[in-house]
């Protein structure tokens, strides 16, 4: 089912990612943007950074990209990137976009896990 957001209701999609590392979970929410470079990455336990990008206009999601970076003394190293294309199922109930993913990086194979959902919310 394609994204069916009602223009009259002023509902907007929210990309919500549940990211866990070392027994701690963070929820990262992203709104729709036109420029993916404006989205800032979120620090995850001072070992990873995670960036969730939903690009589109008004009520139409063009694509979703998810990035994970491993933090080193010299800077962040990209270790994972996933791209999702339409159609997207966006409803008032939280709908799964990704499965549970595990990303491993570093000398001791540190593990970052995440899963993401889409949801239509009233603005």
Structural domain spans, the chain: 48-91
99 φ, ψ (degrees, to nearest 5):
-80, 180
Q: Which two tokens stand for residue 31?
A: 């709104």
Is pLDDT above 90 for 10?
no
- As a whole number, the mean pLDDT across the chain is 91
Query: Mind listing the pLDDT tens digit for each residue in 69-114?
Result: 999 999 999 999 999 999 999 999 999 999 999 999 988 899 999 9
Task: Quote the pLDDT of residue 9.
Answer: 56
Give the three-class secondary structure for 18.
strand
Give the Cβ contact number of residue 123 at 10 Å.
Answer: 9
pTM above 0.95, yes or no: no
- Residue pair 121/91 in contact (Cβ under 8 Å)? The answer is no
CA distances to 35, 57, 75, 103, 120 from 48, rounded to whole Å, are 23, 30, 11, 10, 28
- Residue pair 97/84 in contact (Cβ under 8 Å)? The answer is yes
Is pLDDT above 60 for 4?
no
């Amino acid at each position: 089912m394609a994204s069916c957001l009602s223009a009259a209701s002023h509902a907007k999609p929210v990309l919500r990612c549940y990211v866990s590392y070392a027994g701690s979970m963070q929820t990262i929410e992203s709104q729709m943007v036109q420029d993916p470079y404006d989205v800032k990455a979120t620090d995850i336990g001072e070992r990873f950074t995670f960036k969730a990008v939903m690009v589109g206009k008004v009520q139409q999601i063009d694509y979703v990209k998810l990035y994970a970076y491993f933090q080193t003394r010299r800077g962040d190293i990209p270790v994972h990137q996933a791209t999702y294309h339409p159609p997207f199922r966006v409803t008032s109930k939280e709908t799964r976009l990704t499965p549970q993913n595990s990303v491993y990086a570093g000398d001791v194979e540190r593990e970052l896990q995440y899963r993401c959902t889409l949801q239509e919310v009233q603005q």
